[in-house]
């Protein structure tokens, strides 16, 4: 994990900054890598001419041509299969699955081929591909446009799984993913594309344009893929979370007045367990928060790791706040999300025990 000084120098060397939304930061990452490396190609459904359903790839086809940014048929298995072949023969493909909910037809290619290629070939071939997927709710997309399937990917040996919470990390992590020789699942929380929200429906915590994490360097820089960040330092309890729930947890801490240390995992797997260890042993209390369903969610693994490694430092049982164990509800979307009220209640339970 980089120190704050090392990270600040890295960012300073990446040129002047400018305010960016997460969409703009991701586009900047693709632009920078495509300019530096002619082997980087970007493709997926509506990615080329249209610029992607969320406009992340807007303008890239016009700038780099149809051979480097292009549209693909509605065939997720084919998209990932082609990307694996490209990666094995020297390209660095960035494939977009239009919504994370659509990855299931490509599951065999991701799990049986991409994740295992390096090991099956004894290192003769690698799969340096990045698979971008918008994930989570917040657009009233219902059951087929709102899922958070990160736990499936963290279960698969050979995959890296990443989920940024802010523009400056989004760009650095995406560049690192593209330059990595392993297959990376890059999950993008849709609720954060244009600004952080606190969970009280559409009320923003603060506009991106006024937050320090939106001041993104315009040049090339990387954020280590295995490094968590202390989003909010604190002394009373540790919150382990990622993506949208980083902002919800920060709102809960502000509303309850509890001095919570919030860890933004950024890289779900491989996991920065040292940062988690140090924080939980300092505070003695732990709350795990994620948007995905509870049973067999990634929070269960986080809880187990904390229990195994920090048991004798815990002053209270570990709390877990998640989405419901139900198919994603359209009409009750904002009740399904762990909001500041539910997260704050978990904070209070951890402090009272």
What amino acid positions are annotated as catalytic residues?
145
Could you give the angle at which helices 340-352 and 244-256 cross, rounded to 10 degrees? 60
Strand 267-269 and strand 160-162: pairing?
Answer: antiparallel
Segment holding 152, helix H or strand E: helix 150-154
At residue 73's C-alpha, the angle toward residues 72 and 75, to 5°, is 110
Backbone angles phi, psi at 251, to 5 degrees: -65, -40
Residue 3: alpha-carbon gap to chain centroid? 21
Residue 156: alpha-carbon gap to chain centroid? 16
Terminus-to-terminus CA distance in the chain, angstroms? 32
Q: Quick check: 97 and 79 in contact, CB under 8 A?
A: yes
Residue 304 makes CB contacts below 8 A (sequence gap 6+) with none
Calpha distance 152→150 (Å, rounded)? 5
**Helix/strand/coil for 41:** strand
């Amino acid at each position: 994990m980089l120190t704050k000084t090392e990270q600040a120098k890295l960012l300073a060397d990446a040129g002047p900054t400018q305010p960016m939304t997460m969409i703009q930061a991701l586009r900047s990452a693709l632009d920078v890598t495509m300019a530096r490396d002619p082997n980087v190609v970007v493709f997926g459904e509506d990615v080329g001419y249209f610029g992607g359903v969320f406009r992340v790839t807007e303008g890239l086809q016009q700038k780099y041509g149809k051979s480097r940014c292009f549209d693909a048929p509605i065939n997720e298995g084919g998209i990932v299969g082609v990307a694996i072949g490209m990666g094995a023969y020297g390209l660095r493909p960035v494939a977009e699955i239009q919504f994370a909910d659509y990855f299931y037809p490509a599951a065999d290619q991701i799990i049986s081929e991409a994740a295992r290629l390096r090991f099956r070939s004894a290192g003769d071939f690698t799969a340096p591909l990045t698979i971008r997927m918008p994930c989570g709710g917040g657009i009233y997309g219902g059951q087929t446009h709102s899922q958070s399937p990160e736990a499936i990917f963290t279960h698969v040996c050979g995959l890296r799984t990443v989920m940024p919470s802010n523009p400056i990390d989004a760009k650095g992590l995406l560049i690192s993913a593209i330059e990595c020789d392993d297959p990376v699942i890059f999950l993008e929380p849709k609720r954060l594309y244009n600004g952080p929200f606190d969970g009280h429906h559409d009320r923003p915590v603060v506009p991106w344009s006024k937050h320090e994490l939106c001041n993104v360097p315009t040049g090339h820089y990387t954020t280590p893929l295995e490094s968590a960040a202390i989003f909010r330092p604190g002394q009373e309890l540790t919150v382990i979370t990622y993506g949208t729930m980083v902002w919800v947890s920060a709102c809960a801490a502000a509303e309850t007045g509890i001095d919570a240390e919030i860890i933004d995992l950024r890289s779900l797997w491989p996991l920065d367990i040292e940062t988690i260890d140090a924080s939980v042993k300092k505070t003695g209390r732990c709350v795990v928060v994620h948007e995905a369903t509870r049973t067999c969610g990634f929070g269960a693994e986080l809880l187990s790791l904390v229990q195994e490694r920090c048991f004798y430092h815990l002053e209270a049982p570990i709390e877990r706040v998640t989405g419901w164990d139900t198919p994603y509800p359209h009409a009750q979307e904002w009740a399904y999300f762990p909001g500041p009220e539910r997260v704050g209640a978990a904070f209070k339970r951890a402090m009272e025990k």
